[in-house]
């Protein structure tokens, strides 16, 4: 069932207010009252959509991750669109990455990316002789997240295309390693 437009509009207003506040203040100092004032919604309306401020945070992060899903195709190494999406949403992501919400974002983003990497590795017959698939997925997801975090924290000095190239250069050797025979005795 498709949600009605009023519900979508209300949630969007709450998201935008929250995002705007995150860009100005630490998460822990933002109050529900500030969110509803900025979103121009009532307290009851806010709580009908989000039982707590934490639920709003979770929904906001899930929204970002869901929006990234359509960028992921059969090759997780095609990351230029992901970097473009991150650039376009950099203010929101910086707000989420600052302060106490950064650990939450890291855990959710990495878990999301690990799942996508593992799906890719399984679909491409990843050979686990050298490294178990869950370790490889964890390593690649962590590398990608840390690279993205570095890029954001350094004011995105490289283009989306350059970042895709750097990401590919860093991750591709891991995939090559998985296809090579390990030397005897190792």
Q: Does the reported pTM lie above 0.85?
A: no
One domain, residues 24 and 72 = no
From residue 51, alpha-carbon distances to 20, 43, 54, 59, 148 in Å are 20, 11, 8, 11, 31
| Same domain (yes/no): 101, 158 | yes
For residues 116-137, b (16+ Cβ closer than 10 Å) or e, as one string?
bbbebbeeeebeeeebeeeebb
Give start and end residues of each alpha helix (H) in 124-159. 133-153
Tens digit of pLDDT for each residue in 124-172? 788 888 889 999 999 988 888 889 889 988 999 999 999 989 988 988 8
Which one of 36, 51, 66 terminates a domain?
51
pLDDT at 112 (0 to 100): 85
Do 29 and 72 sit in the same domain of this protein? no
Instruction: Assess whether 35 and 105 both reside in one domain.
Output: no
- Are residues 47 and 77 located together in one domain of the fold? no
Mean pLDDT, consecutive 10-residue stretches, the chain (186 aa), reads 81 90 84 97 96 90 74 62 83 71 78 85 82 91 88 92 90 68 45
Using CB atoms within 10 Å of the CB of residue 34, give its burial: 0 to 12 exposed, 13 to 18 middle, 19+ buried. middle
Cα dihedral sign for 92, 93, 99, 100? positive
Domain that holds residue 35: 1-51
CATH code, domain with 12: 1.10.10
Whether residue 104 is found in the same domain as residue 138 = yes
């Amino acid at each position: 069932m498709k949600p009605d437009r009023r519900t979508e509009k209300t949630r969007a207003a709450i998201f935008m207010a929250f995002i705007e506040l995150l860009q100005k203040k630490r998460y822990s100092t933002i109050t529900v009252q500030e969110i509803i004032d900025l979103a121009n919604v009532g307290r009851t309306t806010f709580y009908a959509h989000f039982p707590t401020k934490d639920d709003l945070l979770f929904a906001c992060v899930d929204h970002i991750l869901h929006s990234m899903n359509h960028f992921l195709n059969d090759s997780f190494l095609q990351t230029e669109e992901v970097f473009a999406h991150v650039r376009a949403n950099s203010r929101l992501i910086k707000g989420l990455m600052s302060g106490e919400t950064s650990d939450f974002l890291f855990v959710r983003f990495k878990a999301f990316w690990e799942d996508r990497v593992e799906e890719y590795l399984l679909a491409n017959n990843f050979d686990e002789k050298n490294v178990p698939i869950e370790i490889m997925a964890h390593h690649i997801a962590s590398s990608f997240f840390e690279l993205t975090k570095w890029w954001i924290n350094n004011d995105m000095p490289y283009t989306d295309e350059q970042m895709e190239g750097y990401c590919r250069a860093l991750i591709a050797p891991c995939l090559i390693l998985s296809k090579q025979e390990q030397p005897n005795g190792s």
